[in-house]
């Protein structure tokens, strides 16, 4: 089976897992998985890694979410391996892809270049204001914080996690890209936006629509940084090949049709 054909099949199955099985379908329609794949491909193409392994690993990086084993290295790897057996891949390829999946959360340090890339792609997605949205969403819908009563310790836990992940970046290119998406946000803003994010997450609002809603609570430089994360235009600063700006990901309407100002 040709590699492109395998990737198409993996992509279809991975989207089904991400949208319909993870978090009981609450994340349906979100673009997180697609951004991770684009970032991983970008990193792989620019550092000379195996693009197929990195892309397949990125597609499957959250395959263990429905079972609650995403932070368990051994169980995560077994789930990925069992998923990949259906395809005509060598044992080496299956193990390489599964290693990318199992180490992406940083609980075990990634050793292969492709695993480092998938790990770093996930970290870049979990950085800056988008990272605040993503991790608040995940903590809310996994029952680790109460959307109706966000405590100071909850905010600290979210920010500490994002800072910790940023320190775990593996590749020099990802470390440079991290500077593009990291941005200061004061505690007063956090106390205001995190309860908003959590409440919307509880009601199954996607990351992208939450981003549009909180734009009005952000300063201009913060809005610009968030928009660049969502449309991945920050990658263009380090391109070695033509990069397409997918700015359509962020429009000026939320799911209910209400308008919010786009970043100037």
pLDDT at 192: 96
pLDDT at 1: 62
Arithmetic mean of pLDDT over the chain: 89
pLDDT at 255: 37
Residue 111: DSSP 8-state: -
Q: Mean pLDDT across the stretch 156-177?
A: 96
Query: CA–CA separation, 264 vs 260, rounded Å?
Result: 12
pLDDT score of 251 more than 90:
no
Q: Mean pLDDT across the stretch 218-225?
A: 95
- Rounded alpha-carbon distances, angstroms, from residue 217 to 145, 162, 196, 261: 22, 20, 10, 11
Q: Mean pLDDT across the stretch 229-257?
A: 57
Q: Mean pLDDT across the stretch 141-146?
A: 94
What is the percent of the chain with per-residue pLDDT over 70, rounded to a whole number?
90
**53-85 per-position pLDDT tens digit:** 999 999 999 999 888 888 899 999 999 999 999
**7-40 per-position pLDDT tens digit:** 999 999 999 999 998 888 888 989 999 999 999 9
For the chain, the residue count is 264
Contacts for 2-11 with beta carbons within 8 Å, 24 or more apart? 3/52, 6/56, 6/87, 6/88, 6/89, 7/52, 7/55, 7/56, 7/59, 9/87, 10/56, 10/59, 10/60, 10/87, 11/37, 11/59
pLDDT score of 264 more than 60:
no
Query: CA–CA separation, 155 vs 175, rounded Å?
Result: 25
Q: Higher model confidence: residue 262 or residue 198?
A: 198
Domains and CATH numbers, the chain: 1-117 (1.10.472.50), 126-264 (no CATH)
Query: CA–CA separation, 16 vs 28, rounded Å?
Result: 9
pLDDT at 67: 87
- Rounded alpha-carbon distances, angstroms, from residue 55 to 40, 72, 113, 198: 6, 21, 12, 30
Q: How many CB atoms lie within 10 A of CB 171?
A: 19
């Amino acid at each position: 089976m040709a590699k492109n054909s395998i990737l198409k099949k993996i992509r279809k199955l991975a989207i089904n897992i991400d949208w319909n099985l993870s978090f009981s379908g609450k994340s349906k329609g979100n673009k997180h998985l697609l951004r991770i794949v684009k970032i991983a491909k970008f990193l792989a193409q620019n550092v000379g890694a195996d693009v197929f392994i990195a892309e397949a690993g990125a597609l499957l990086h959250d395959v263990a979410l429905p079972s609650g084993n995403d932070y368990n290295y051994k169980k995560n790897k077994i789930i990925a391996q069992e998923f990949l057996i259906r395809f005509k891949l060598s044992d080496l390829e299956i193990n390489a892809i599964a290693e990318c999946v199992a180490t992406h959360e940083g609980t075990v340090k990634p050793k292969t270049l492709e695993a480092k890339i998938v790990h770093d792609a996930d970290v870049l997605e979990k950085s800056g204001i988008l990272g605040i949205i993503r991790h608040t969403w995940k903590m809310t819908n996994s029952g680790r914080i109460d959307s109706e009563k966000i405590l100071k310790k909850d905010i600290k836990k979210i920010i500490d996690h994002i800072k910790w992940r940023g320190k775990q970046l593996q590749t020099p290119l990802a470390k440079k890209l991290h500077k593009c998406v990291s941005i200061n946000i004061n505690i007063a803003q956090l106390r205001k936006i995190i309860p908003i994010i959590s409440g919307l997450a509880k009601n199954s609002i996607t990351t992208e629509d939450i981003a549009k809603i909180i734009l009005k609570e952000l300063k201009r430089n913060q809005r610009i940084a968030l928009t660049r994360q969502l449309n991945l235009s920050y990658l263009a600063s380090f391109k070695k090949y033509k990069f397409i700006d997918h700015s359509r990901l962020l429009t000026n309407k939320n799911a209910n049709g209400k308008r919010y100002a786009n970043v100037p």
